[in-house]
Structure 1
Amino acid sequence: MSSDRPTSLARLLDRVVRLGWNHTERRLRLPFRLVLALVVAVLVSRVVSVGIGLLTDNYRGGVLAGAFPGADLGTVLRVVSSLSAALGIAVIVAVAGVALDRRRLPDFGFHVDRSWWADCAFGTALGVALMAGIFLVGYAAGWFRVVGTAFAEPGFSFLGLVAGYLVVFAAVSLTEELMVRGYLLTNLAEGLRVGPVTGRVALGLAVLCTSGLFGWLHAGNPNATLVSTATIALAGIFLAAGYALTGELAVPLGLHFSWNYAQGVLFGFPVSGLRVGVALVRTRETGPDLVTGGRFGPEAGLLGVVAILLGIAAIAGWVRLRSGDLGLAEAVWTPELRWRER
């Protein structure tokens, strides 16, 4: 019996190791990868927050005035903060995605080519068109009233804010899409393929999970309600549609950016409860909150819900037109791992 003990112990240790390590894929299993990715995210976010804090202190002390003569330093700080967040997320995905997941960076939705840019342009145009539709329908029905044009907060430059928010919303789009859709949805879609769960079912579950998270991440915004949280979760499905159908983040990136920019800067609506302080057309909601979304913005109203549903249909139509077919992208749940080429 004593001779069998080392063998039994080795088997036990091997079983324990297999709980956390996938020998076939030569990497940690999903729950452990996500925990370590969270650790990386906390460390990176801490570094970013410290850097932004130092920058803010310098701003308050007037040190930056000479570096940006004539600029609205508040706008500069918004831009720098947004770019820092985007850079931080890119670092997190580079470290966690490549080192832990053993994926290539393009597998998170960045196989950039002419087709990728065409999809991004479509997403950008779609976001503007849908928000313009919300404005025109609401204005025609008397639910919105135009109270000014070319508005900017006192003490701020209109053109400076218009240009600054181009960068801010582009950075926000990259940050949220890369984090929620590119990294987390991809990992969940692959990791949920267990037992009888097929790739398509796993992708559907991943979309629902990440969209719920997307709604929860906005639950703390000003003027948020249970309704707004639910509609933002629906918007998460809307944004995930382009990724699920193409395997690329091109459509979601363009759509996310232009939806926010048109909503806040072009038409003066609150963006998920936040006023941006600049508007090409300044509007005031005079209709019922159920329709307009009230102080949270159109995303929390029936106008926003209808626009989201129309947007999902438009994305499906675009993908079918571009590819001649309509189906879920298998690359989302079956990415090539780097070690397989060795």
Structure 2
Amino acid sequence: MSRILRTENEQLRLPLRLIWNESERRLRSPIRILFGIVIVFLFAGFGSGYRPTLLTDGGPIPEAINSLVRGLPQSMGIVLGVILVSVVLDRRVLSDLGIRLDSHVWCRFAGGFVIGAGITALSVTVGTVTGYYNVSGVHVSSGPAVWLLLVGVTGLSQLLIVVAEELLARGYLITNVMEGLDSIPVLPRGMAAGIAVVIASVFFYLTHSARGAVFGVMAAGLAVLLGVAYVLSGSLAVPIGIHFGVNFAGGLLGTQPMSVSLVQLTSTTTVAETLVLPVEAVTVRLVGAGIAILVLVFWYHSTNGRVRIIPSIVRPTLRWQRNSDASPEQS
């Protein structure tokens, strides 16, 4: 069998070398990504087909809890799918995906949250000043105690979705694309990171454009910010915080009306049903994302003395090799 698979120099024959990375004992990056995305989508599809209703009573709290429970299977499907392909296909440890649970994880998350919430707040503030938003009311729809409970349940519901999406789009996709591109000697690491961020952003457009092309463009633009946050920090906590901040602030400030909304907004147009999101707001959000990228670059340049792509993103810690000091060649 070895004579069929290998040359006289004990190298794999050419067709197999295009598929199998012998030094890392795993499939090449493009093949792993293709199979991995398909598997994750299958898990997500299975999860989305199960939408249980836990409470039958009416009211904001039962509705919020039901929304949390209905979204849980799909989010868990994505997470389990990513874990499976990372362990089996990638043969890596999960910390490679930006899962850094150290003492600073909450600081990274909080910093990202401030940036994300600031982007949404900027679009609402500019809208109320320029007129594409009208504020029809500012109040708490329920009593303070009920509202705080709703905030907790709604926040947890949104956070589960955000964690699943970031684990897939940033942790899995960007990491694998960068690992593959980093093996090309003539390609600078910064350019490899840029290509990976763009690919993840296109992926985000495709998975969000069902709500309309303009909404998909906004999602892709924000995904550039999320990708930059990941490659500069090496931690998913930052993009998770930004993503959660954008969504959660949208609920509180009324761009995504729900029972926790403090502000009731109206607009003459919207880019997606169930949202109060005119094109002007999308434009301001994209401008805010651009400003946020500059803020991140300034921050990491100030703290690190330079802007750099975190090297650990392109250096996989393979499970079969984690007890060895040897560093594998990049695929």
Give the TM-score of the pair, scaled to structure 1: 0.80
Q: Which runs of 5+ in 1 are unaligned?
A: none
Change (3 A) 1:79 1:253: same
Equivalent residue number for residue 92 of structure 2 = 103
**Residue number in structure 2 paired with 1:164:** 153
Aligned to 2:321: 340
Mapping of 1:191-340 within 5 angstroms? 191-195=180-184, 196-221=186-211, 224-225=212-213, 227-263=214-250, 265-270=251-256, 275-276=257-258, 278-285=260-267, 296-297=277-278, 301-340=282-321
| Identical-pair percentage | 31
Shift of 1:238: 0.9
1:35-71 CA-partner distances (Å, limit 9, x unpaired): 432343244234423432xx24xx6xxxx44xx8977
Deviation at 1:210, TM superposition (A): 0.8
Contact 1:123/1:254 (<8 A) preserved: yes
| Residue identity in the other structure for 2:247 | N
Q: Highest Rg: 1 or 2?
A: 1
Query: 1:22 matched to which residue of 2?
Result: 21
Partner of 1:113: helix, strand, or coil? coil
- Determine the C-alpha separation between the residues in 2 that align with 1:114 and 1:326: 23
SS at match of 1:218: helix
What is the rounded CA distance, in whole Å, between the counterparts of 2:202 and 2:225 in structure 1? 12
Using the TM superposition, give the Cα deviation of residue 87 of structure 1 relative to its aligned residue in structure 2, in angstroms. 2.0
Q: Which amino acid aligns with 1:88?
A: G
Which amino acid counterpart does residue 237 of structure 1 have in structure 2? V
Partner-residue secondary structure (3-state), 2:288:
helix
Which residue pairs with 2:119 in the alignment?
130
Amino acid at match of 2:220: A
Q: 1:284 and 1:75 mapped to 2: Cα distance?
A: 23
Q: Tell me how far apart the structure 1 counterparts of residues 235 and 5 of structure 2 sit (CA, whole Å).
A: 46
Partners of 2:280 and 2:154 lie apart in 1 by: 19
Q: Write the letter of the residue equivalent to 1:258.
A: G
1:144 equivalenced with 2:133 (yes/no): yes
Cα pair 2:198 2:224 within 8 Å, conserved: yes
Alignment check: 8 A CA contact 1:208 1:237 kept: yes
1:17-96 pair list within 5 angstroms: 17-52=16-51, 55-56=52-53, 64-65=55-56, 72-96=61-85
- Residues 266 and 281, structure 1, Cα contact 8 Å, conserved in 2: yes
> Relative to 1, partners in 2 of residues 1:124 and 1:10: Cα closer, same or farther, differing over 3 Å?
closer
Query: Within 2, Cα distance between the matches of 1:139 and 1:330?
Result: 43
Residue 183 (str. 1) matches residue 172 (str. 2):
yes
Assess, with a 3 A threshold, how the Cα gap between structure 1 residues 139 and 20 changes in structure 2: closer, same or farther: same
Distance 1:298 1:115 in 2: 37
Aligned-residue offset at 1:10: 5.1
Q: Residue type matched to 1:260 in 2?
A: N
1:55-91 CA distance string (max 9 Å, x none): 24xx6xxxx44xx897744322320133323322221
Query: How many residue pairs end up in the alignment?
Result: 313
Q: Which amino acid aligns with 1:232?
A: A
Quote the Cα distance in structure 1 between the aligned partners of 2:6 and 2:307.
49
Please give the alpha-carbon distance, in whole angstroms, between the structure 2 residues aligned to 1:51 and 1:289: 30
Call closer, same or farther: CA 1:144–1:15 in 2, change over 3 Å.
same
Q: Is the 8 A contact 1:231 1:300 kept in 2?
A: no
CA distance in 2, matches of 1:6, 1:320: 51
Unaligned runs of 5+ in 2: 324-331
Query: What is the rounded CA distance, in whole Å, between the counterparts of 1:92 and 1:141 in structure 2?
Result: 45
Q: How far apart in 2 are the matches of 1:269 and 1:17? A: 52
Change (3 A) 1:242 1:131: same
Aligned residue number for residue 327 of structure 2: none
CA deviations on 1:272-294 (whole Å, 9 max, x unpaired) are xxx546521011225x889xxx9
Aligned counterparts of 2:270 and 2:71: Cα–Cα separation in 1: 30
- Give how far 1:14 is off: 4.0
Residue of structure 1 in register with 2:329 after alignment: none
Aligned with 1:143: secondary structure? coil
- Three-state SS of the structure 1 residue aligned to 2:209 is coil
Which is helix-richer, 1 or 2? 1
